Amino acid sequence: MKILHLSPELAPWSKAGGLGDAVAALAKSMGALGHEVRVVTPLYGSVPGAERMGVLLPSLQVGVGGDPRKAGCRVRTQSVAPQVEAWFIEHEDYYGAREIYPPREDAGERAHFFARAGLDACVAAGWIPDIIHCHDWTTGLIPPLLNTTLREGPLGAASSVLTIHNLQHQGLHPRRTLDFAGLPAHLFRPDELECLGGVNYLKGGILHARTVLTVSPTYAREILTPAFGHGLEDVVRRRADALHGILNGVDRDEWDPARDPHLAQPFSAGDLAGKAACKAALLRELNLPTEPDRPVVGVISRLWDQKGLDLALAVLPRLLREDALRFVLLGSGDASLEQGFRRLAAEFPAACAVKIGYDHGLSHRIEAGADFFLMPSRFEPCGLNQMYSMTYGTLPIVRETGGLADTVIPWDGEKKGTGVVFTHADLAGVEWGLRRALELYAQPKKFAAVRREALRQDFSWRRSAEEHLRRYAVA
Ligand code: ADP
């Protein structure tokens, strides 16, 4: 099959969260299964090595409204893996800055432009896809376009797929974006793309894609309910028959403790000596005392309400005062949470280290050096870090929601399970989870058995890619 992915993030070139990782790994896995894959994504100012990339189309006039002088772009190309190419949409005004999601007045036009450029690039290059796979809200106007304006065109026979990586971010933009995209005016009504007087991009994608996917079976059920639907639950319910949850996986080229260049020492399920060295190195790197017997709890996260880390911030002082654990956090986002965690580190300098910012290498070293990894998410469509953790023999402490519920087996108090699972995203839930982890850590034989079980889990992208392909086949 010829498969086109449209995504605003593509690791390692651009990544704000799990989306960049997921699209890159899915594309590579589909290529490895023998399919021809192209991933269209913007060429942000932060993407390194643009001048060394190839040029697929030196100039392409894109089918959008507005100022025709702004409708031109260049399409660069870069090989990702055998059979897999990234097509970067180069447009200085829209994407020349470093940020992936900057707040700007024309955010709706900018969001749509690269995806539409991707469709037009396919036609110009004579590469006609069987599947057009859209990822998240920025690409949401593509399925309605394919069902209306582009229906009789060269891409009209392609089957559209939308993956919801996070239903919270929907893209609500002014009515004029409908004209910019070339969509018929009659779609501006409440049972179509209209929402609160604007155009809701994700709603358009959900209503019009032939297949709607999300990133875990539990999240696929949760988003049918008001508690997780972010106001779109009725829209999602209209597509319940076309909706399926497929788990993401772990990219072993990137996350494998036996050959991870970021670690002080490699290790594997069969030989965990290197993990102890990684723990000591992590504590040294973060200027914490290297006490090998004290459990280290790690966090790597965007600091947003979704992630429930405000709960951790409220609960941790008590545990740190008891000197029960060491806590390390890498993340950025909400200013008050950043400040709160900075203060926590200042209050407990010998037990808590906090790095505000984005640090790829350190994220690998935390996964390797921690004993536990905390994810108290209020909702979590899939979550990648709990899977990376298990792959690194680090036991996740997670709230039972979305992909966390689908990937972590609760410790049964004996030797079964792969982590600690708690039910409620509240203070009592998080404290219970942390204390349960300490209880497990205090019993070395059980802890070792649970760690072995975690290391045995198979979160392969191949399985995920195969399931996608089965869904494509029925689309
Ligand atoms: P989300 O997509 O909601 O942010 P995921 O768990 O699916 O959550 O994916 C987050 C990804 O981003 C992981 O690969 C994680 O390691 C990475 N990440 C998040 N924050 C940082 C950071 N500050 N530094 C390095 N990597 C980070």
pLDDT in tens, 163-208: 999 999 999 999 999 999 999 999 999 999 999 999 999 999 999 9
**pLDDT of 67 over the 70 cut:** yes
Cα of 301 from ligand 1 centre, angstroms: 5
- CA torsion through residues 375, 377, 383, 387, sign: positive
The stretch 296-310 carries a mean pLDDT of: 97
Q: Are residues 287 and 243 in the same domain?
A: no
- Under 8 Å CB-to-CB from 404, ≥6 apart: which residues? 375, 377, 380, 383, 386, 396, 398, 421
Ligand 1: which residue has its CA nearest to atom 20? 301
Q: Specify the pLDDT at position 473.
A: 83
Closest ligand 1 atom to the C-alpha of 306? 3
List strand residue ranges (DSSP E) for 334-432, in order.
352-356, 372-375, 395-399, 420-422
**pLDDT of 81 over the 70 cut:** yes
Q: Specify the pLDDT at position 292.
A: 85
Q: Specify the pLDDT at position 103.
A: 95
- Give the 3-state secondary structure of residue 2: strand
In this structure, how many other beta carbons lie within 10 angstroms of the beta carbon of residue 326? 26
Q: Are residues 468 and 436 in the same domain?
A: no
**pLDDT of 60 over the 70 cut:** yes
Q: Would you give the distance in Å from CA 341 to the centre of its chain?
A: 23
Cα of 264 from ligand 1 centre, angstroms: 21
Structure tokens at 444: 């070395």
Backbone phi, then psi, for 224, in 5-degree steps?
-85, -5
Q: Are residues 292 and 192 in the same domain?
A: no
Say which CATH number the domain at 212 has. 3.40.50.2000
Q: Specify the pLDDT at position 429.
A: 98
Angle between helices 309-321 and 427-441 (to 10 degrees): 50
Q: Specify the pLDDT at position 475.
A: 64
Ramachandran bin of 158, using left for φ above 0, alpha for ψ from -120 to 50, beta for the remaining angles: beta
Alpha-carbon gap, residue 323 to 148, rounded angstroms: 62
Radius of gyration of the chain (CA): 23
Alpha-carbon gap, residue 118 to 87, rounded angstroms: 8
Q: List, in sequence order, the alpha helices (H) in 260-308.
A: 273-285
Q: Are residues 309 and 423 in the same domain?
A: yes
Contact 230, 168 (CB under 8 A): yes
The stretch 376-394 carries a mean pLDDT of: 98
Q: Are residues 234 and 140 in the same domain?
A: yes
**Using a 6 Å cutoff on CB, does residue 381 contact ligand 1?**
no
The reply to whether 48 falls in a domain is yes
- CA torsion through residues 448, 450, 456, 460, sign: negative
**Using a 6 Å cutoff on CB, does residue 358 contact ligand 1?**
yes
The reply to whether 254 falls in a domain is no
**Using a 6 Å cutoff on CB, does residue 195 contact ligand 1?**
no
Closest ligand 1 atom to the C-alpha of 165? 2
Alpha-carbon gap, residue 73 to 379, rounded angstroms: 38
**Using a 6 Å cutoff on CB, does residue 387 contact ligand 1?**
no
The stretch 343-372 carries a mean pLDDT of: 97
**Using a 6 Å cutoff on CB, does residue 360 contact ligand 1?**
yes
Q: Are residues 302 and 438 in the same domain?
A: yes
The reply to whether 266 falls in a domain is no
Alpha-carbon gap, residue 238 to 285, rounded angstroms: 51
Structure tokens at 323: 């000197």
**Using a 6 Å cutoff on CB, does residue 391 contact ligand 1?**
no
- The pLDDT tens digits of the residues spanning 111-136 come to 999 999 999 999 999 999 999 999 99
The reply to whether 261 falls in a domain is no
Q: Specify the pLDDT at position 291.
A: 87
Question: pTM for this one?
Answer: 0.96
Cα of 127 from ligand 1 centre, angstroms: 33
Q: Burial-class residue 392 by CB neighbours within 10 Å (0-12, 13-18, 19+).
A: buried
The stretch 359-372 carries a mean pLDDT of: 97
**Mean pLDDT for the chain overall:** 97
Q: Burial-class residue 302 by CB neighbours within 10 Å (0-12, 13-18, 19+).
A: middle
The reply to whether 263 falls in a domain is no
- Quote the domain boundaries for residue 389: 273-459
The reply to whether 239 falls in a domain is yes
Beta bridge partners of 3: 37, 131
Angle between helices 273-285 and 360-369 (to 10 degrees): 130
**pLDDT of 474 over the 80 cut:** no
Alpha-carbon gap, residue 407 to 382, rounded angstroms: 9
Cα of 17 from ligand 1 centre, angstroms: 5
- 474 against 460, higher pLDDT: 460
**pLDDT of 17 over the 90 cut:** no
How many domains does one find in the chain? 2
Q: Are residues 196 and 227 in the same domain?
A: yes
Structure tokens at 237: 């319910």
Q: Are residues 33 and 141 in the same domain?
A: yes
Cα of 21 from ligand 1 centre, angstroms: 9
Q: Are residues 209 and 354 in the same domain?
A: no
The stretch 311-336 carries a mean pLDDT of: 97
The reply to whether 299 falls in a domain is yes
* Of 165, 168, 254, 302, best ligand 1 pocket probe by most atoms within 8 Å of the beta carbon: 302
Ligand 1: which residue has its CA nearest to atom 19? 301
**Using a 6 Å cutoff on CB, does residue 168 contact ligand 1?**
no
**pLDDT of 396 over the 70 cut:** yes
Q: Are residues 205 and 164 in the same domain?
A: yes
**pLDDT of 69 over the 90 cut:** yes
Cα of 435 from ligand 1 centre, angstroms: 25
Q: Specify the pLDDT at position 75.
A: 98
Angle between helices 309-321 and 335-347 (to 10 degrees): 10
Q: Are residues 303 and 241 in the same domain?
A: no
Q: Are residues 245 and 301 in the same domain?
A: no
The stretch 152-170 carries a mean pLDDT of: 97
**Using a 6 Å cutoff on CB, does residue 248 contact ligand 1?**
no
Cα of 430 from ligand 1 centre, angstroms: 20
Beta bridge partners of 164: 214
**Using a 6 Å cutoff on CB, does residue 384 contact ligand 1?**
yes
Q: Specify the pLDDT at position 167.
A: 98
Cα of 359 from ligand 1 centre, angstroms: 10
The reply to whether 257 falls in a domain is no
**Using a 6 Å cutoff on CB, does residue 23 contact ligand 1?**
no
Contact 114, 8 (CB under 8 A): yes
Cα of 43 from ligand 1 centre, angstroms: 21
Q: Give percent of the chain above pLDDT 70.
A: 100
In this structure, how many other beta carbons lie within 10 angstroms of the beta carbon of residue 218? 22
